[in-house]
C-alpha cells in the first residue's frame, strides 16, 4: 500500500496563483491520473485511503487536508508564478478544501479491506493484491498468501480433505449437537463469501452453560483464519446510544469481523438489530452533525454463557452451542493440536485454501439450493452457506433454530407467563391502574418481566406510565405457544382498557 512518487519530469506542473476553480480542476485531474493503481477512494461520501497501522493491521482512514496535500505532492509539482520567475510552492489549503467539497470525485468506491482471498459473485477468487473493482475490496494479503491458489474444479476428494483439515481447527470443540458444529462451519465461511451476498448475515451466538468451555477460543480461531490476528473483542455496551457509537466507529474503520465477547446481560439493542439487517449503516459521524453512510458487510460473532436475547435481536441470530458436560471444562480439553491458535497461525494459508476449496466446489456444482431452514431477512446468506455445507456434506446447518427461540428468547417466555396470569386475574377488560393495585397482593409481582422490574423502583405514577408504554409497544404481539397477546378494549376514565387475547395457531399448510 506504499505510494510511489512519480518522476519529476512526468508530473504535471500546477500554477497556484490562478482562479481557484482552475487550480482545483488541474489538481484533481493530477490526483485522478496518478491514482493508478488506486491509492485514494470514495467511501461513505468521503475521500479515504488505505494504510497499515502500527500493529500491522490494514485500515481505512479519512483523507484529511494533510493527507490530500501529501498525495498531491507525490503526483504534481506546484509553483507560484511572478514577474519573469517561477518559485516552488505547496498545494494551498483552499485548493484542498475545494477538492474535498467536490460533489463528484473520480476515485473508485471502496467497501472494505480483506486480508484473505475471497469469492467473487461469479465464483472466481480474488487473489491478486490491490484494489478489485468487481468487489470494491482492497486485498492486502498477509504473509503466505501471495501465491495461494485454489483448484478451479475441486474433486470430491479435494473437498473431503478440505473438510478434514478444517475439522482439525474447529471440529474438536465440545458441540452440543451436530447442528452446532455445522453452524460453526457456517461462521467460518461467512467472511469468505460476504462480498458475494446482496443481503446481510446474522449474528453467530457462541454459547455455553459453563465458563471455560472454549467460546472465546472458537471465536479467536475463526477470527484468525479471517484476519490473521486475534479478534478485536469488544464488550457489549450498556446503552443503545453506546451501541450506535461503537458500531459506527467499528464499521468506519473497515472491520470485516466483529466479536462481542462475554455477554453477561440480556442482549437487546435496537442499534445492533438494525445493523445486523443493514447493508448500509447510516449515522452521524462522531463529533460532527453530518450523516455518513458506511457499507455494512461485516461478519458478527458474540460469546457468552447462557446468553439471553430480547427484542428483535433473537430473530437475527443463529446458535453455536458448546457443552463439555463437566463443571471445569477447561481441565478436560484434549485437542489434537495442544496450542490450537498457534497451529492455526502456522497453517493459515492451507486452512484458507481449504475454505475456498469447498466454496469453489459449490460453484462448480451449479450452486445447488440448500434444503435447510431459512431465517427471514437473511435468505441469501442461508441459501448460500447452506448450499456450500450440503455440497461439502456437513450436515445440520440451522437445525437448532427452534431450540434457540425457545431457550434464548427469555422475554417471550416472561411475557407469556405474565399475560397468562393477567388473563386469569382479569377475565374482563382492565386498566393499568388495576394491574398496579394487585401487583403486591395478587401474585403478579413474581411474574413481572425483567424489563418492567427495572422500572419498578420508580414512583407509582411513573411506573404506571412505564407499564402503559410497555403494553403499547407489545400491542397485538404474540407470545409463546399459547399465542397470548395484548389487545386494546377501548377507553375508560382510568385510561385505555386492555384485554389478553389468545389467537389460534395457524395450521401448517
pLDDT one-digit tens code per residue, 129-145: 899 999 999 998 877 77
Cβ neighbours for 61, distance < 8 A, ≥ 6 positions apart:
48, 49, 50, 51, 67
Model confidence pLDDT, tens digit, residues 228-281: 877 767 888 888 899 998 998 888 877 788 999 889 888 888 999 999 999 889
User: Three-state SS across 348-396?
Assistant: HHHHHHHHHHHHHHHHHCCCCCCCCCCCCCCHHHHHHHHHHHHHCCCCC
Rounded Cα distance between 355 and 351, Å, is 6
Does 293 or 158 have the greater pLDDT score?
158
pLDDT band at 432 (very low <50, low <70, confident <90, very high): confident
Q: Is the pLDDT of residue 26 over 70?
A: yes
Q: Are strands 40-43 and 46-52 parallel, antiparallel or unpaired?
A: antiparallel
Q: In degrees to the nearest 10, what's the CA dihedral of 283, 285, 291, 295?
A: -60
User: Where do you find CATH 3.40.50.300 in the chain?
Assistant: 156-407
Q: Which three cell numbers stand for residue 318?
A: 443463529
Between 123 and 22, name the one with better pLDDT: 22
Least confident of 171-180, 228-237, 307-316: 228-237
Residue 6 has pLDDT above 60, yes or no: no
* pLDDT the model gives residue 181: 97
Q: What is the pLDDT of residue 390?
A: 96
Q: What is the pLDDT of residue 499?
A: 93
Residues 6+ apart with CB under 8 A from 65: 93, 96, 97, 100
0.85 exceeded by pTM: no
CA-CA-CA-CA torsion for 41, 47, 50, 52, nearest 10 degrees? Answer: 170
Question: What is the pLDDT, as a whole number, of residue 87?
Answer: 93
CATH 1.10.10.10 assigned to 156-407: no
**How confident is the model at residue 455, as a pLDDT?**
65
| Predicted confidence (pLDDT) at residue 443 exceeds the cutoff of 70 | no
- What CA–CA distance (Å, rounded) separates 424 from 171? 49
Report the chain's C-alpha Rg in angstroms. Answer: 28
Per-residue model confidence (pLDDT) at position 58: 85
| Contact of 307 with 314, CB cutoff 8 Å | no
Minimal CA–CA distance to 314: which of 276, 257, 258, 370? 276
On the question of pLDDT at 507 being above 50, the answer is no
In percent, the amount of the chain with pLDDT more than 70 equals 93
Mean of pLDDT values over 449-463: 71
380-404 pLDDT per residue, tens: 999 999 999 999 999 999 999 988 8
Residue, of 320 and 437, whose pLDDT is higher: 320
Residues 9-22 have a mean pLDDT of 89
The DSSP symbol for 48 reads E
Which residue, 292, 424, 351, is CA-closest to 162? Answer: 351
What is the per-residue pLDDT for 329? 86
Q: So what's the pLDDT on residue 180?
A: 97
Centre a 10 Å sphere on the Cβ of residue 328 and count the other Cβ atoms it contains. 10
The average confidence (pLDDT) of the chain is: 87
Q: Write down the pLDDT at residue 15.
A: 95
Given a cut of 90, whether residue 316 has pLDDT beyond it is yes
| Rounded-to-integer distance, Cα 411 and Cα 308, Å | 8
Q: How confident is the model at residue 304 (pLDDT cuts 50, 70, 90)?
A: very high
Q: pLDDT tens for residues 71-94?
A: 999 999 999 998 888 899 999 999
| Residue 137 contacts residue 112 (beta carbons within 8 Å) | yes
Percent of the chain residues topping a pLDDT of 90: 49
- The pLDDT assigned to 412 comes to 82
Q: What angle in degrees, to the nearest 10, is found between the helix axes of 93-100 and 20-33?
A: 70
Amino acid at each position: 500500500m506504499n505510494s510511489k512518487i512519480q518522476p519529476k519530469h512526468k508530473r504535471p506542473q500546477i500554477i497556484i496563483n490562478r482562479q481557484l476553480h482552475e487550480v482545483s480542476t488541474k489538481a484533481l485531474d493530477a490526483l485522478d491520473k496518478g491514482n493508478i493503481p488506486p491509492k485514494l477512494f470514495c467511501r461513505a461520501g468521503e475521500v479515504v485511503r488505505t494504510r497499515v497501522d502500527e500493529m500491522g493491521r490494514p485500515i481505512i482512514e479519512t483523507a484529511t487536508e494533510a493527507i490530500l496535500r501529501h498525495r498531491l505532492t507525490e503526483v504534481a509539482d506546484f509553483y507560484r508564478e511572478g514577474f519573469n520567475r517561477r518559485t516552488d510552492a505547496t498545494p494551498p489549503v483552499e485548493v484542498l478544501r475545494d477538492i474535498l467539497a467536490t460533489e463528484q470525485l473520480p476515485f473508485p468506491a471502496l467497501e472494505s479491506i480483506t486480508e484473505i482471498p475471497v469469492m467473487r459473485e461469479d465464483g472466481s477468487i480474488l487473489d491478486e493484491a490491490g484494489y478489485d473493482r468487481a468487489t470494491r475490496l482492497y486485498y492486502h494479503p498477509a504473509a503466505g498468501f501471495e501465491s495461494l491458489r485454489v483448484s478451479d474444479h475441486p474433486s470430491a476428494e479435494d473437498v473431503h480433505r478440505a473438510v478434514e483439515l478444517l475439522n482439525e481447527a474447529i471440529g474438536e470443540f465440545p458441540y452440543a449437537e451436530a447442528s452446532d458444529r455445522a453452524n460453526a462451519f457456517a461462521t467460518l465461511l461467512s467472511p469468505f463469501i460476504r462480498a458475494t451476498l446482496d443481503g446481510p448475515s446474522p449474528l453467530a451466538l457462541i454459547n455455553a452453560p459453563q465458563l471455560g468451555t472454549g467460546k472465546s477460543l472458537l471465536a479467536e480461531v475463526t477470527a484468525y483464519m479471517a484476519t490473521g490476528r486475534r479478534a478485536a473483542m469488544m464488550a457489549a455496551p450498556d446503552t443503545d446510544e453506546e451501541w450506535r457509537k461503537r458500531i459506527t466507529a467499528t464499521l468506519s474503520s473497515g472491520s470485516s469481523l466483529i466479536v462481542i465477547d462475554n455477554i453477561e446481560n440480556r442482549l437487546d439493542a435496537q442499534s445492533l438489530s438494525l445493523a445486523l439487517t443493514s447493508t448500509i449503516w447510516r449515522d452521524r459521524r462522531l463529533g460532527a452533525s453530518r450523516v455518513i453512510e458506511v457499507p455494512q458487510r461485516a461478519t458478527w460473532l458474540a460469546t457468552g454463557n447462557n446468553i439471553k436475547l430480547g427484542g428483535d435481536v433473537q430473530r437475527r441470530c443463529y446458535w453455536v452451542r458448546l457443552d463439555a458436560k463437566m463443571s471445569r471444562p477447561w481441565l478436560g480439553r484434549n485437542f489434537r493440536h495442544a496450542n490450537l491458535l498457534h497451529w492455526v497461525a502456522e497453517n493459515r494459508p492451507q486452512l484458507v485454501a481449504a475454505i475456498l476449496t469447498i466454496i469453489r466446489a459449490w460453484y462448480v456444482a451449479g450452486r445447488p439450493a440448500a434444503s435447510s431452514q431459512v431465517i427471514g431477512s437473511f435468505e441469501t446468506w442461508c441459501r448460500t452457506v447452506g448450499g456450500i455445507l450440503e455440497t461439502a456434506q456437513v450436515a445440520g446447518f440451522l437445525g437448532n433454530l427452534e431450540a434457540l427461540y425457545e431457550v434464548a428468547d427469555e422475554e417471550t417466555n416472561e411475557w407469556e407467563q405474565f399475560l397468562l396470569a393477567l388473563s386469569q386475574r382479569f377475565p374482563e377488560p382492565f386498566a393499568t391502574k388495576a394491574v398496579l393495585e394487585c401487583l403486591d397482593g395478587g401474585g403478579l409481582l413474581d411474574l413481572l418481566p425483567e424489563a418492567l422490574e427495572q422500572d419498578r423502583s420508580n414512583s407509582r405514577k411513573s411506573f404506571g406510565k412505564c407499564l402503559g408504554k410497555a403494553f403499547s409497544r407489545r400491542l397485538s404481539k404474540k407470545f409463546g405457544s399459547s399465542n397470548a397477546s395484548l389487545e386494546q378494549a377501548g377507553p375508560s376514565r382510568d385510561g385505555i382498557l386492555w384485554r389478553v387475547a389468545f389467537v389460534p395457531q395457524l395450521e401448517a399448510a
